[in-house]
Structure 1
Amino acid sequence: MSDKNDIEQWVRDNNIRTIRLETISLDGVASGKYLSVAKFLSGVAKGYSFCDVVFGVDLANEPQVGFDFGTWRGEMGDIFLQPDFDTLVVDPVAPGLAAVICDITDRDGNPLPTCARSTLRKQVRELESAGYSLTAAIEIEATVFENSIAVARAAGFCDLRPLGGGAGALYVLGRPLEFNRYMDAVSERLDAMGIQWEGWCDESAPGQVEFNLPPSDAMSAVDNYNRVKFVMRQVAFEQDHSVTFMARWSSDYYGQGAHINLSLTKDGVNVFHNAERPSQPSLEMEWFVAGALDTMAAATSFSFPTINSYRRIEELNGPPTTITWGVENKSTAIRAICRDSKQSRLEYRIPSSDANLYLAFAAFLAGGRQGLDNRQEPPAPLDVMAWSLPGGVDPLPGNLVDAVDALRQDSALTKALGPELVDYWLGTRRWEWLRFHTGGGDPDNGVSAWELQRYFELV
């Protein structure tokens, strides 16, 4: 739907009086504005003004300094939200409310180099131009608390009570009914918005849940991921609970991830499926893995974007710690799932739940495309546990500085994602490291009050 008359008719048919414009900042924060119907309809062709300061401040709303702002930046000048009308939905949270996901453009309608959604779309289109279609599914992990957000804020996000009790395990069904009430409300709202879901389960830590979305095209997969996070926050607030997507909110409990499952088809055939040896990867799967491994260190800061992301990365704790792949091996960074033509896929197990998934997915695709283009051969798949290896296998960058350095030294990934984006991203990550070390954070004493104040509500 792109014709103004069709949009105007849709607004009338659905009794819409307010439209929420939705986008995602580089830090992964849900951002946007609310418009009247008249203002919304007046900007269908050209988009809606949005101050570029959204890229100029950090998570504490402080100006980021010390790096080049890029040619697209002005002195708090206007950039534009350009709606993708295929994402226009009625939001059931309030009568007359609609929502639409937007790209961020300059005055001429060109995608801004720092628009994360446009960055992913570029990688998707380049694979499509090579004849591939992408199918993706994302796993969402979060922790829900009994405490209301007001109580959590007053407590500095410390000493909170996980919803469902303090015992941590996996797949436990014997949780209090209040957990079901929360997840039922989430799923009902998604049903009303037309967002499909597959299921949810108790995860490894107290109050932690994994929510699974079904396979869809790559753009819709990440769009829906962001909307599900927004809905989970909405419902938590309404039920006097709170929820966080921090990579690790407490040193006492396991962290949280956002795994991406990907398959590629060509001429209707899943090219990751090996028809002759279904339990083994196809050549195309191997090529894609090789490119993704080759660029994995450089791509890490997109999957581990915050100081807190690296709290999650510990041996034997679940997340990968090495640049490895394996067939049906969940301890590796990339898990090759080799089954029938429908199920064969790659699971990218690196991203933390605090990642901007548009960027993390784009970096994964850029690396994989490099492998496909060059028909790279990967190292042998790892058939042993990838944690606590004695040596000979490269570890993932262990902190934000090492990840930033790896990206700065990788010209291939920088070219694929765009130098303007990468340069700006590097500046923001260095700023994040600086603010942590000058703001009272301590890398050696577990999850700090600084991290909780900065990340609990926003990422």
Structure 2
Amino acid sequence: MVNGNPVTKEDVLQAVTENDVKFIRTQFTDTLGMIKSWAIPAEDLEGAFENGVMFDGSSIEGFTRIEESDMVLMPDPTTFRLLPWRPKEGAVARIIGDVYRPNGKPFEGDPRYVLKQAVAKAEEMGFTMNTGPELEFFLFELDEKGHPTTNLTDKGGYFDFAPLDKAQDVRRAIDFALEDMGFKIEASHHEVAPSQHEINFRFGDVLNTCDNIVTFKYVVKSIAYHMGYYATFMPKPLYGVNGSGMHSNQSLMKDGKNAFYDPETPDQLSTTAKQYIAGLLKHVRDFAAITNSTVNSYKRLVPGYEAPIYCTWSASNRSSLIRIPSSRGIGTRVELRSPDPACNPYLAFAAMLLAGLDGIKNELEAPASTDVNIFKLTEEDRKVRGIDSLPADLKEAIDCMSGSSFVKEAMGEHVFENYLTAVNAQWDDYKAQVSQWEIDTYLSIL
């Protein structure tokens, strides 16, 4: 056990017995980050640790064809957690697994495997990655049939408290559930938009953090629904207010020290940090389809709602795509502000890590820090300063990704091709739709 959480198979089996666990929900994500889960009886868990759990990979987005569909999920004992909102008698637990082929080899299409490969490349260079994501979400009302709506649950704003933040009891219940599952909550508050919330948990190594993001979304949705609300991580569910982001704080450790910190430089950022920033800026347009994976993602990335769209960095400017928070020493970190919580975290952080490592490996030079409000610059000013922008929509992001040898190598050919197929299908379906805006604008005049 570490901090009360199981680490080994024996720890898990003991916890199952001591807590009267009857069912275990096995979990993994498909290519686009959707959680896939099914329950196995507790008495089958020991066998699952030894032989895995068979499933049909051809039914999973981006996995395999029908003629090679057999897949095996191998549970990771370090991810075992009790579900605290379920009854204690006949308890239910959750465990995340790694996907393998029947021949015992890791499945190259498993997003968790893609991240593990990126982590291995960082370790070859002497680095480990710590991350601290900040996930925002909306809480809406359910209708009389239990279906989600976009009806507001409050009219609160940033840091508001009751009575404006009427959903604070839901957020408190989520906080308690997360803490019961081993999370260290650092902040929990109402966000800028009405019915919008943010819960931040303590940073950690990138693989465990991505497991925690998957768990976080599962817990938030489950607790909200049990309390009569609908939680959504849709990036932009409401017109005219801020959307939901997943600001992604990241740092590299080397020899037990923060590799981004250098007390001898004017801004106390190391050469490694600047090269990492340069790598992110070089590739951020190419991996935007991964960090911002839906048509709706690009409704958030527009001027006027605090979301970054221009490819710059700054230690003081929140309008920049990359911000360097003021903390120094062990807390020195780079914050990429464009990702949103709809993304697959394993693929998103693999792309960010490998982009930063590319900057370090090739000794890329970061441009000068942009310390003015970029939204107030004219298009000509931005052109003179060489400031590029993120893709304007999913189609542009797909085009950037499809032509990127970096993203293809980072994701591996299997994920690269299947991911592009999935997002292209999403775009093709979207562009064929007739929106209410088009009806309202054109029907009466054309």
* TM-score normalized with structure 2 length: 0.89
How much has 1:4 moved relative to structure 2? 5.1
Alignment-derived partner of residue 32 in structure 1: 37
Residue 340 of structure 1: how far off its partner (Å):
2.1
C-alpha offsets along residues 394-434 of structure 1, whole Å, 9 cap, x if unaligned? Answer: 11111111111111111123112212211111111111101
- Classify 1:378/1:3 alpha carbon distance in 2 versus 1 (closer, same or farther; 3 Å): closer
Q: Deviations over 1:146-178 (max 9, x none)?
A: 33584444xxx3xx3322x235x3222243574
Judging changes above 3 Å, is the alpha-carbon distance between structure 1 residues 129 and 338 closer, same or farther for their aligned structure 2 residues? farther
Query: How much has 1:367 moved relative to structure 2?
Result: 0.6
Q: Equivalents in 1 of 2:375, 2:100: separation in Å?
A: 43
1:97 Cα offset (Å) = 0.9
Preserved CA contact (<8 Å) 1:315 1:388: no
Aligned partner of 1:130 among 125, 136, 139: 125
Residues of 2 paired with 1:137 and 1:445: CA distance? 42
Is 1:433 matched up with 2:431?
A: no
Structure 1 counterpart of 2:313, one-letter code: W
Provide the residue aligned with 1:21 in structure 2.
Answer: 26
Alpha-carbon distance in structure 2 between the residues aligned to 1:147 and 1:33: 25
Q: Equivalents in 1 of 2:165, 2:435: separation in Å? A: 38
Give deviations 1:30-78, integer Å, cap 9, x for gaps: 211100123322221221112113434xxxxxxxxxxxx78x5334722
In structure 2, what is the Cα distance between the partners aligned to 1:181 and 1:8?
34
Measure how far apart 1:86 and its partner are.
0.6
Q: How many residues align?
A: 426
CA distance in 1, matches of 2:366, 2:134: 26
Task: Tell me how far 1:444 sits from its aligned partner.
Answer: 6.7
Shift of 1:179: 1.9
Q: Secondary structure at the match of 2:252?
A: strand
Report the Cα distance in structure 2 between the residues aligned to 1:255 and 1:185, rounded to whole angstroms. 23
Contact 1:279/1:338 (<8 A) preserved = no
| C-alpha contact (below 8 Å) 1:22/1:101 kept by paired residues | yes
Output the amino acid matched with 2:109. Answer: T
CA distance in 1, matches of 2:9, 2:371: 56
Tell me if the contact between 1:148 and 1:242 (Cα under 8 Å) persists in the aligned partners.
no
Task: Specify the alignment match of 1:111 in structure 2.
Answer: 106
1:162 alignment partner, one of 152, 155, 168: 152
Shift in alpha-carbon separation, 1:408–1:35, aligned structure 2, 3 A: same
Contact 1:366–1:413 at 8 Å: present in 2 too? Answer: no
1:80 aligns with 2:85: no
CA distance 1:187–1:26, shift in 2 (3 Å): same
CA distance in 2, matches of 1:394, 1:444: 30
The change in CA–CA distance for 1:211 and 1:150 in structure 2 (over 3 A counts) is: farther
Matches within 5 A, 1:214-229: 214-229=202-217
Equivalence map 1:1-400=2 (5 Å): 5-56=10-61, 72-75=64-67, 77-94=69-86, 95=88, 96-147=91-142, 150-153=145-148, 157=149, 160-163=150-153, 165-167=154-156, 169-176=157-164, 178-277=166-265, 279-387=267-375, 389=377, 390=379, 391-392=382-383, 393-400=387-394
Measure how far apart 1:370 and its partner are. 0.4
Opposite residue 395 of structure 2, the aligned amino acid is V
CA contact (8 A) 2:74 2:97 kept: yes
% same residue: 27
Q: Is the CA contact 2:298–2:394 (under 8 Å) kept in the aligned structure 1?
A: yes
C-alpha distance in structure 2 between counterparts of 1:418 and 1:177, whole Å: 44
Q: CA, structure 1 residues 360+149, in 2 after alignment: closer, same or farther (shift >3 Å)?
A: farther
By how many angstroms is 1:114 displaced?
Answer: 2.2
- Report how far residue 5 of structure 1 moved: 4.8
Residue type matched to 2:202 in 1?
P
Which of 391, 406, 411 pairs up with 1:412?
406
- Opposite residue 48 of structure 2, the aligned amino acid is G
Q: Give the deviation of 1:388 after TM superposition.
A: 5.2
Q: 1:111 to 1:318 in 2, by over 3 A?
A: farther
- Give me the whole-angstrom Cα distance separating, in 2, the residues matched to 1:378 and 1:437: 37
Following superposition, the deviation at residue 241 of structure 1 comes to 1.1
CA distance in 2, matches of 1:79, 1:278: 53
CA contact (8 A) 1:16 1:37 kept: yes
Partners of 2:369 and 2:243 lie apart in 1 by 26
Q: Determine if contact 1:280/1:338 at 8 Å carries over to the other structure.
A: no
Q: Secondary structure at the match of 2:204?
A: coil
Contact 1:281–1:338 (Cα < 8 Å) also in 2: no
Aligned-pair CA distance for 1:272: 0.7
Cα distance change of structure 1 residues 357 and 444 upon mapping to structure 2, 3 Å threshold? farther
Q: 1:148–1:241: 8 Å Cα contact kept in structure 2?
A: no
Q: Provide structure 2 residue ranges, at least 5 long, that are not aligned to the other structure.
A: 1-5, 441-446
